[in-house]
Amino acid sequence: MLAIGTLAKRTGTKVQTIRYYEQIGLLPEPGRTEGGQRRYEYADLDRLAFVRHARQLGFTLEAIRELLDLSDNPSRSCAEVDLIAHRQLKEVEARIVRLEALRRELKRMLRECSRDTVSDCRVLEVLRDHSACLADHGTGA
């Protein structure tokens, strides 16, 4: 039987975050002490560790919910799990491509910025005039 703070420490999660996960139905409602405090089983620790690890891998809570559903129904096809992970990989790769374009552009801006005052600043100039941009960074983050 674990208190919420213990669970938090062992998984590197904030206490409020655990309560939030419970609230949105990602973690089951645990038992309570007579005084009303949550007491967790070790299975809850595993489940939370799963969630945190998936979050670290960039999965959204919605994707994690799907993964947990699949995990709770072990007879279903691995292909569904594979699909979710694959989708996630594509998203990660797309983000990398975009960030690399940003890095190129920022580096170029900085390389060319060697003047003394803001009025000659290449960085601001590039920001003012998109057409001075080499990188084809799209919209969104």
Partner DNA sequence: ACGAAATCTACAACCACTGTAGCAACCAGG
Partner DNA sequence: CCTGGTTGCTACAGTGGTTGTAGATTTCGT
Q: Which residues would be at the binding site for DNA (CB under 7 A)?
A: 3-6, 8, 13-17, 19-20, 33-38, 55, 60-62
State the minimum distance, in angstroms, from the CB of residue 105 to a second copy. 6
- The residue written with tokens 């919605």 in the block is 62
Nearer residue to a second copy within complex by CB, 4 or 126: 126
- From CA 57, how far away is CA 80, in angstroms rounded? 18
**Minimum CB distance to DNA smaller for 36 or for 138:** 36
Q: Which residues have CB under 8 Å from 95's CB, separation 6+?
A: none
Task: Say how many Å lie between the first and final Cα of the chain, rounded.
Answer: 42
Q: What is the binding site for a second copy (CB under 8 A)?
A: 12, 46, 49-50, 53-54, 56-58, 67, 70-71, 73-78, 80-82, 85-86, 88-89, 92-93, 95-96, 99-100, 102-103, 105-107, 109-110, 113, 115-121, 123-124, 127-128, 130, 133, 137-139, 141
Contacts of 61 (CB under 8 A, 6+ apart): 24, 26, 55
